[in-house]
Structure 1
């Protein structure tokens, strides 16, 4: 997508003529960074050549743009002493019998990721520090079925910066849940990815303005005071 200001980019039909918002300011003490589902299973190349080719654009986006930008967000937030939280898909039982229906249906989302297996771990380059919070979920939304909402409130959080994968699935579900709980949400669009650019862009247009404010990593870092 063309380089546009966050005030004009990713506008859907509903907000084409909405007035430009005021400049955003996020108080570091009241803002948390939430990194969603950047796990080993999603960065592992398929053994099937056709599937590897099909997912090649996603892998390129992750390695060239998304992971470096998440690193930038994490590093900046750590330097400012901000709360950083991680969510990962991981079941408590080896057979995953407690998983939600969405993670037991046949197809891409049929995920069996026991919590202690390598596949379910956050990738090494984004590994949480020992004092950073990690929530385990068997749902798309990081708020559903976890105590994340309670922890965010206990941390004094008003604003949440979201990054991770997949834009049109777990990121979007989490953003919508956060908005419903009256958290002010910013999504760093170049620190997220969907399976395709089309799915990514379409979902950002859907959630922008009503559930969150979509901005670049650079713009997001500029909001933090």
Structure 2
């Protein structure tokens, strides 16, 4: 179990002492699933019909989709089962706009390019993927920016629920996951990021971001490590 304590180290923490064991108290630790929504798992039915440049762009995402279906979604589902069995609450964050024209979106979601998102809150594209669907009574916050704390009442909810530790999973490691982790750390929550419960567009981006946020904003570990610390 000690491997995670010295893994994913950046320049700043090279040679620093091992991370301490987390003390996770039943009911005070929450699982947060970030932006695992239908829109990000959608793929064209007939890639061969796309123009060559679009085919190449779509092919570049193969690794992401393989990781999501083969590793990330199964890992999150396993953690959800454990939390729902009594370790603590499961919460969800998703990107969606509340106004018909998307005028409530943050600037980062209006800029041209891949991150230009228009996801009406009641659309199928904006919903959490069926494999990880929230159960009745589980909190789902809707955000119009990257961090799940910015522009939502998640900070208030976590405080009201007595949560001290937040386990973060979801996508994308280098965008909404990282933004949320930093916001949680700034609000003095203890944060754990599950390496095999997250993904970025590429593994290089994923691993690089983990190296950046590890130790200072969170502790990074794998699901098997975390399960050894969760209360029963």
With normalisation by structure 1, the TM-score equals: 0.96
Which residue pairs with 1:197 in the alignment?
203
Which residue pairs with 1:27 in the alignment?
25
Q: 1:9 aligns with which of 7, 10, 30?
A: 7
Secondary structure of the structure 1 residue equivalent to 2:63:
helix
Residues in 2 aligned to 1:179 and 1:77: alpha-carbon distance in whole angstroms: 21
Q: How does 1:1-225 map to 2 (within 5 A)?
A: 5-46=3-44, 48-80=54-86, 82-225=88-231
Secondary structure of the structure 1 residue equivalent to 2:226:
helix
Matched length = 223
Which residue pairs with 2:50 in the alignment?
none
Q: Which has the larger radius of gyration?
A: 2
- Deviation of the 1:24 alpha carbon: 1.9
Secondary structure of the structure 2 residue equivalent to 1:178:
helix
Residues in 2 aligned to 1:209 and 1:81: alpha-carbon distance in whole angstroms: 24
With normalisation by structure 2, the TM-score equals: 0.94
- Deviation of the 1:90 alpha carbon: 0.5
Q: Please identify runs of 4+ aligned residues in structure 1 that moved more than 3 A.
A: none
Secondary structure of the structure 2 residue equivalent to 1:113:
coil
> Any unmatched runs of 5+ in structure 1?
none
Superposition RMSD in Å: 1.2
Residues in 1 aligned to 2:126 and 2:142: alpha-carbon distance in whole angstroms: 10
Residues in 2 aligned to 1:206 and 1:4: alpha-carbon distance in whole angstroms: 20
More displaced stretch, 48-57 vs 215-224: 48-57
More displaced stretch, 108-117 vs 41-50: 41-50
Residues in 2 aligned to 1:5 and 1:166: alpha-carbon distance in whole angstroms: 24
- Deviation of the 1:81 alpha carbon: 5.1
Residues in 2 aligned to 1:204 and 1:194: alpha-carbon distance in whole angstroms: 10
Contact 2:6 2:19 in 1 (8 A): no
> Any unmatched runs of 5+ in structure 2?
48-53
**CA deviations over 1:132-152 (Å, ceiling 9, x no partner):** 000000000000000000000
Residues in 1 aligned to 2:229 and 2:41: alpha-carbon distance in whole angstroms: 30
